[in-house]
Amino acid sequence: MKKIIIVLVLIFIVIFIILIASNLVPKLKAPPKEEISPEIPKITQPKVLYNLAGSIKKIDFLKESLILEATIIQIDEAGQPIEKTEIRKVIVTPITRFTHLTFVTQEGAERRTPQETSITFKNLKVGDYIEVISNQDISQKEEFEVTQIRVLPKSF
């Protein structure tokens, strides 16, 4: 009987020591998991612009210029992209190249590949969707010279 009492007392002492030790030693807890939200990259407006795309609204074959209704992507106050339409005058120079972009399917190929064909200024028509490329910053210019005019496919 004494042995049982001694065993019970020892068990109580061990339990008592464990309880005291657990209160004295700080518990090692994993830091709370912070909810990580996917970071949306901040969109910034380019400082310079060398090309624009849009529809031809008017062509002046005598002055070799055209009026382009360009779609320009800008950033609003919330940092989100918005589309803005602006009217710009495009001036053709003697070095301006004219091309027509099409996509062709090669025999045996699954993908269509881009192909540019040379055209002339006289091939342009009102309503054509084009890309104009300049060698100068045209971001703020209402009128500018271009080095290339590329007629884009209707589905572009």
pLDDT tens digit sequence for 28-71? 555 566 666 666 666 677 788 899 999 999 999 999 999 999 98
Q: What is the pLDDT of residues 65-95, one digit of tens each?
A: 999 999 888 888 887 888 899 999 999 999 9
Q: Are the beta carbons of 69 and 54 closer than 8 angstroms?
A: yes
Question: Domain residues for 142?
Answer: 51-151
Q: Tell whether 94 is covered by a domain.
A: yes
Contacts for 151-156: CB closer than 8 Å, 24+ residues apart:
151/98, 151/99, 151/100, 151/101, 151/119, 151/123, 151/124, 152/53, 152/101, 153/101, 153/102, 153/103, 153/129, 154/129, 156/101, 156/129
Domain count, the chain: 1
Q: Tell whether 105 is covered by a domain.
A: yes
Q: Tell whether 16 is covered by a domain.
A: no
Distance CA 92, CA 114 (A): 24
- Confidence category of residue 146, pLDDT binned at 50, 70, 90: very high
Helix (H) or strand (E) holding 5: helix 2-24
Q: Tell whether 88 is covered by a domain.
A: yes
Q: Tell whether 5 is covered by a domain.
A: no
- Confidence category of residue 13, pLDDT binned at 50, 70, 90: confident
Q: Tell whether 9 is covered by a domain.
A: no
Q: What pTM value is reported for the model?
A: 0.67
Q: Tell whether 10 is covered by a domain.
A: no
Return the closest-CA partner of residue 132 out of 147, 149, 110.
149
Q: Tell whether 59 is covered by a domain.
A: yes
> What is the CATH number for 112?
2.40.50.320
